[in-house]
A and B are shown apart, each in its own frame.
Chain A
């Protein structure tokens, strides 16, 4: 195999000669041609279709996340006012050649002074954390079993996991009321069987909220876990067994550590939306202890206090930034490992 040495670098996409005689350049190329060569070459070489593809989600995020976030952020610093819109502008032209910027911090200090907000935040985080762990406890065995069965069964189970999402979320939560209420299905069956004499109160309890959240968010735990577990090389398990590890040891030392990324992804996919959950605690939950999502809607729609509602939302976002950042880090790590 004797090959003449070839330079490993391909020639640059654009040659340095400008304005080739008699050739018609496309307009955009012509524009680049009159720019300084280093600059135009850089753009031509690097501003590829790849960049455009990457730009699409960024534009999307900018339009539908960053801009609304900035608007909410702005409102959180204004004062409430009975008007349309129901808050005072931040920047006012005073006429006397003065521009006034009023940042009202009272909305934030108010959150700290009123017990309701702090306890709602803490309660929301507790409910979300406990629900995430329950989802993990229930979802892991399911994902594990799915990853271990044959292709046909896998597809069937995947479909079954996703099937409930085909019906309305609200309907499914309402269905739980029918199951959990005092004269609901569960209590009626238990009473008919003689297990209990009087109905167990399940509605308007923490239990009902946990049931609702775990039920609704379970697919978000199963899917990333399954996605991770399914990629495990079965030869690793055989290798562990071959080296003398019993099945339990193999699980604890091989499968579990290798699925850590999936576990973190699943936990956060449940935890993050569960913190701000509004529908489930409103329909099934306690009335004496609100979750922060409920507080938010109440402030917004009942009190029509947009500035305080915005402050509540901003603080919630800040509380979630940490887990979101952890999630991001694991996502990146997962992607890097697969490369």
Chain B
């Protein structure tokens, strides 16, 4: 998580930003199917807001309503304070980068990028200048005369971005912008996107199903599930303080144990979990009814693994290592604890070669700090 925060490198201060987009109780139905269900959202100027969710959760529909390709069944959308009802896409102050890039196949790279400016009836010289500028920015200047089918996926993506940015929109909508790129190129492009966004100060709304992409890009993330926004927050908030089991499970990996609240004090709680085969002590209070069923979620990287049993009655269980996956930077252990559940633990490989590395079928103890468990009531 620390790396991701460092990569963001910006103070998430959405409260201070001027409101630029407001989605007010928007619902979109296709026949009986509710694609977007009563969504309310505000996005500040200069923000990179990520709509994150699985396929069919309504994130793309929401984006398409911002662009004007779909009309809300109910509710209103305001961009820069102006009600967007009845305003066609070609009159909106937003530009979209399509998932398929939607480059015009019969036009060259320069033709594609110039298209938007030609619609504004700018002078030829002005168009040429701005097209050249933006193609320089996305490092596509050497390819101006090529047709889209002569470009690689990454190059097409840059052209699509340039085509959307050349209009100098206040709001840029990106639909799975990096989906078609391989991992290395994706990471590189993510940082380039951030650089461009910082330089131009455009408000980005990004739709993605890739949580890593959302984490790297976003100042704030809106997690969507079945047409609803289930949580809005900074990447850190979403990861460390998920509001529900869905969010905890969707973002990153997590070990979840159902349990019962046995001690509920303002400064700590204790949870008894049959699934865990032990008790969980949490060093902060939560708001839930006593004896209520709660879920304890512990991230794999926050679990220690060792051969010695830690002191104290709580926050420790015994198990047997079943699988070890060496991923280079980290190793992931799958441990079958005494209750029978599999628990995922990840440890950074700090030392190049440890002599007494934990091995398959070893009996180990898993433990965690009392601040680590996330207690969820829904």
Instruction: Tell whether A241 is near chain B: CB-to-CB under 8 Å.
Output: yes
B120 touches A244 (CB 8 A): yes
B90 touches A246 (CB 8 A): yes
Instruction: Tell whether B336 is near chain A: CB-to-CB under 8 Å.
Output: no
**Chain A: minimal CB distance from B158 (Å):** 16
Instruction: Tell whether A235 is near chain B: CB-to-CB under 8 Å.
Output: yes
**Chain B: minimal CB distance from A338 (Å):** 11
**Chain A: minimal CB distance from B67 (Å):** 6
Q: Would you list which residues of chain A between 218 and 267 have a CB under 8 Å from chain B?
A: 233, 235-236, 238-246, 249, 253-254, 257-258
A242 touches B89 (CB 8 A): yes
B98 touches A238 (CB 8 A): yes
Contacts of B102 in A (CB 8 A): 233, 235-236, 238-239
**Identity of the chain A residue whose Cβ is nearest the Cβ of B114 in the assembled complex:** A243
A242 in complex: contacting residue of B90, B103, B105, B120, CB < 8 Å: B90
**Identity of the chain A residue whose Cβ is nearest the Cβ of B160 in the assembled complex:** A239
**Chain B: minimal CB distance from A249 (Å):** 7
A239 touches B104 (CB 8 A): yes
Contacts of B68 in A (CB 8 A): 241-242
B104 in complex: contacting residue of A236, A241, A242, CB < 8 Å: A236
**Identity of the chain B residue whose Cβ is nearest the Cβ of A243 in the assembled complex:** B116
Instruction: Tell whether B241 is near chain A: CB-to-CB under 8 Å.
Output: no
Contacts of A337 in B (CB 8 A): 105, 149
A244 touches B104 (CB 8 A): no
Q: Which interface class (under 10, 10 to 19, 20 to 34, 35 or more) fits B?
A: 20 to 34
**Identity of the chain A residue whose Cβ is nearest the Cβ of B175 in the assembled complex:** A235
A242 touches B106 (CB 8 A): no
**Chain B: minimal CB distance from A335 (Å):** 14
Main secondary structure of the interface of A (DSSP, over half): helix
Contacts of B100 in A (CB 8 A): 233, 235
**Identity of the chain B residue whose Cβ is nearest the Cβ of A254 in the assembled complex:** B104
Bitwise interface map of B from 158 to 198 toward A, beta carbon under 8 Å scored 1, else 0: 00000110010000000000000000000000000000000
Q: How far is the CA of A236 from the CA of B103 in the complex (A)?
A: 7
A257 touches B98 (CB 8 A): no
Instruction: Tell whether B250 is near chain A: CB-to-CB under 8 Å.
Output: no
Instruction: Tell whether B287 is near chain A: CB-to-CB under 8 Å.
Output: no
Bitwise interface map of B from 78 to 115 toward A, beta carbon under 8 Å scored 1, else 0: 00000000001111001110101011111000000001
Q: How far is the CA of A257 from the CA of B107 in the complex (A)?
A: 10
A242/B119 contact (C-beta < 8 A), A233-B102, A235-B102, A236-B102 known? no
A244 touches B69 (CB 8 A): no
Bitwise interface map of A from 193 to 224 toward B, beta carbon under 8 Å scored 1, else 0: 00000000000000000000000000000000
B119 touches A238 (CB 8 A): no
Contacts of B104 in A (CB 8 A): 236, 239-240, 254
Residue among A239, A243, A244 facing the most chain B CB atoms (10 A cut-off): A243
Q: How far is the CA of A242 from the CA of B103 in the complex (A)?
A: 12
A245 touches B98 (CB 8 A): no
Q: How far is the CA of A239 from the CA of B156 in the complex (A)?
A: 14
Contacts of B115 in A (CB 8 A): 240, 243, 245, 253
Contacts of B103 in A (CB 8 A): 239
A244/B116 contact (C-beta < 8 A), A238-B89, A239-B98 known? yes
Q: Would you list which residues of chain B between 302 and 354 have a CB under 8 Å from chain A?
A: none
Q: How far is the CA of A317 from the CA of B103 in the complex (A)?
A: 42
A243 in complex: contacting residue of B69, B88, B95, B105, CB < 8 Å: B95
**Identity of the chain B residue whose Cβ is nearest the Cβ of A253 in the assembled complex:** B115
**Chain B: minimal CB distance from A235 (Å):** 4
B67 touches A249 (CB 8 A): no
A244 touches B167 (CB 8 A): yes
**Identity of the chain B residue whose Cβ is nearest the Cβ of A236 in the assembled complex:** B102
Contacts of A254 in B (CB 8 A): 104
**Chain A: minimal CB distance from B132 (Å):** 18
Contacts of B90 in A (CB 8 A): 241-246
28 pairs, CB–CB < 8 Å, chain A vs chain B: A235-B98, A236-B102, A236-B105, A238-B69, A238-B89, A238-B102, A239-B96, A239-B103, A239-B163, A240-B104, A241-B69, A241-B90, A242-B68, A242-B89, A243-B95, A243-B116, A243-B119, A243-B163, A244-B90, A244-B91, A244-B116, A244-B120, A245-B115, A253-B115, A254-B104, A257-B106, A258-B106, A337-B149
Ranked 9 nearest A-B pairs via Cβ: A244-B119, A243-B116, A239-B102, A235-B102, A241-B89, A244-B90, A242-B96, A241-B90, A257-B106
Q: A238-B69, A239-B98 are in contact. List 13 more A-B contacts (CB 8 A).
A: A236-B104, A238-B96, A238-B98, A239-B104, A240-B104, A240-B115, A241-B89, A243-B119, A243-B163, A244-B91, A246-B90, A258-B106, A337-B105
